[in-house]
Structure 1
């Protein structure tokens, strides 16, 4: 029996496509050169592990003078990268809660960036429990973060249904016995929630 449903946030509830945003600002070839030279996703991992949002990005910008003004946009343009929300997924979250099903988040997200995002996406404040990697000091797919969720919630194994868009994050949860769903779009996730008996087809629409 599923006692809680856990949502990832990036590319599940909110689209997260930094490369796509940069392609609207600079030629694609130039963007590809920057991402090849600068490990921007590695930089973001530091933020997701608890590093300061603005300071981490601006420090990286200083290391790469050629790209510095573009790197700073990771902070200054951040909400334009983390957009738009995925409306059907948000509806599914709210439908589950309306049925009395606890809904948690488990997300790789920085402290400052998450606080910033809640101002634009109020539903991020509505989880029954929010597990944010920046506050936890560890990121998915490290087993420790899943252990921390279990210890805090008192739930484990098949009591939990977890969706995430990354196969490595799903794999670790699966190894712990969690029920899992690789998110490839809200329609498939809706079908899974119906199949689990958590929502009706009408509720999942």
Structure 2
């Protein structure tokens, strides 16, 4: 069936999120590999995405790993540079759907403070018809609870929803609930999927 709403992940769908690439450019690949081997920075970020305070988590982590204190605080103080650049074609697709009257929701692993910070740079983040942000929900993908919470909050479920995400495990969790899904590997593939779903014309999806 034609979906009643479209759901966007944000990281690597609307905004690039590649911390390793960023730190390679700042401290070099060898130092970055050593840092990421010593400090589970993705687990640190998951804590923020589950709703813990961004600055508090950074402070605790930097104190635990004093040898990487400056680099961990760099993650905090330059976070907007980590979360960049915007994926312009995906933003155009979001706008095109809304212009057609298709509700667009977010479903994103994102912290409370970091989302507010990102929205000061990426104004489209305030443009979703419904926001489902993990930090506010205290649960992250691919936990089934976050999908259930979206269904409850939106009143939609199953194949009425079309969801894109760049992580296969997040897509699989949605597919298990009967959602229509698309594994995001680039904006053109997502554009083609929206056209095939009958939501946009090829011209709209440019």
Q: What TM-score do the two structures reach when normalised by structure 1? A: 0.99
Q: Does 1:165 align with 2:129?
A: no
- Give me the whole-angstrom Cα distance separating, in 2, the residues matched to 1:81 and 1:32: 16
* Aligned-partner Cα distance in 2 for 1:54–1:202: 44
CA displacement at 1:65 relative to structure 2: 0.9
CA offsets 1:46-83 (integer angstroms, 9 cap, x no match):
00000001111121001011101101111101000000
Greater CA deviation, 17-26 or 88-97? 17-26
Aligned to 1:102: 103
Counterpart of 1:192 in structure 2 is 193
2:120 matched to which residue of 1? Answer: 119
State the SS of the aligned residue for 2:128: coil
Q: How many angstroms does 1:27 deviate by?
A: 2.0
The Cα shift of 1:151 comes to: 0.5
- What CA distance in whole angstroms lies between the structure 2 residues aligned with 1:84 and 1:97? 22
Counterpart mapping for 1:40-189 below 5 A: 40-189=41-190
Partner of 1:7: 8
Tell me which residue corresponds to 2:36: 35
Q: How many residues align?
A: 205
Q: What is the CA–CA distance in structure 2 between the aligned matches of 1:102 and 1:182, rounded to whole Å?
A: 20
* Stretches of structure 2 lacking an aligned partner (at least 5 in a row): none
Cα distance in 1 for residues equivalent to 2:196 and 2:81: 35
- Partner deviation per Cα, 1:142-186 (whole Å, 9 max, x = no partner): 000000000010100000000000000000000000000000000
Query: TM-score, with normalisation over the residues of structure 2?
Result: 0.99
Structure 1 unaligned spans of 5+: none
